[in-house]
Amino acid sequence: MASPRGTSHYLRQLQLVVPGGVLTYYLRTVHHLAATLNSADPDSWGRMAAIASIALGALTVALFIYILLTPWIYSVAPDFRSWRESGLLSSVIPMLTFSIVTGWLSMTMTLGQWTSLGYPKAVVGTSAIYALTFGLLGLIPAPRIRAQAQRPD
Segments making up each domain of the chain, as ranges: 53-140
Q: What is the pTM of this model?
A: 0.84
Confidence of residue 46 (pLDDT cuts 50, 70, 90): very high
Which residues have a Cβ under 8 Å from the Cβ of 70 and sit 6 or more positions away? 76, 78, 88
Question: Is pLDDT at 3 greater than 80 in this prediction?
Answer: no
Share of the chain above pLDDT 90, in %: 60
Higher pLDDT, 76 or 108: 108
Across the range 84-95, mean pLDDT stands at 87
